[in-house]
Amino acid sequence: MRYTFLITFLLILSSLTGTAQTMSRVAGAEPFSVESGTSFSASPAGRREAPGEGAMTSAATRVASDLQQALEVIRSNHLYGNDLNTASVVKSSISGMLGELDPHSTYFDATEFRELLGEQSSEYSGTGSTISNFIKDGRAETYVVATHPDTAAARANLQYGD
């Protein structure tokens, strides 16, 4: 009896796993196949195309219009009116919005951005050396890490570790 029950159980189990492995056909997906040299799109056939340049220009125009309207409201209600420094208002507005969205981001106006690019393009001044602090025997000590060509540090023959 126990042996018959075990055989019946195994037959039922094997038929269930065989059924689970049969391919189910989804209506409307028949021409779909993934084979070597083929590609497919997971988007529906009637999908929208990406916005073109015209749509971007339209969005930029709407933003510029909204900004102009906001500045007019500020000018009409502000104490200084037409004497208001628009650049300052725009900068503080953008900085405030950006600070709310991501407190780790910073807005740079054109002048600040040029200065940042100057700093990032490795403009060196001073001795022409890169120094760093290291802890040695429990004390912080400053060492030369690198010198830059055609600088006072290079002419003085400063070396790594000096």
Q: Are both 68 and 88 inside the same structural domain?
A: yes
Residue 129 lies in a domain: yes
Residue 30 lies in a domain: no
10-residue stretch averages of pLDDT, the chain, 162 residues long = 72 62 56 60 53 69 86 85 84 88 88 77 66 80 86 89 84
Specify the residue for token string 């779909």: 32
Neighbour tally for 1: CB within 10 Å: 5
Q: Are both 114 and 146 inside the same structural domain?
A: no
- Amino acid (one-letter) located at 132: S
Q: Are both 140 and 104 inside the same structural domain?
A: no
pTM for the whole structure: 0.37
Q: Are both 137 and 106 inside the same structural domain?
A: no
Residue 160 lies in a domain: yes
Structural domain boundaries enclosing 159: 124-162
Cα–Cα distance measured from residue 21 to residue 15, given in angstroms and rounded to the nearest whole number: 10
Cα–Cα distance measured from residue 23 to residue 12, given in angstroms and rounded to the nearest whole number: 19
**Number of structural domains found in the chain:** 2
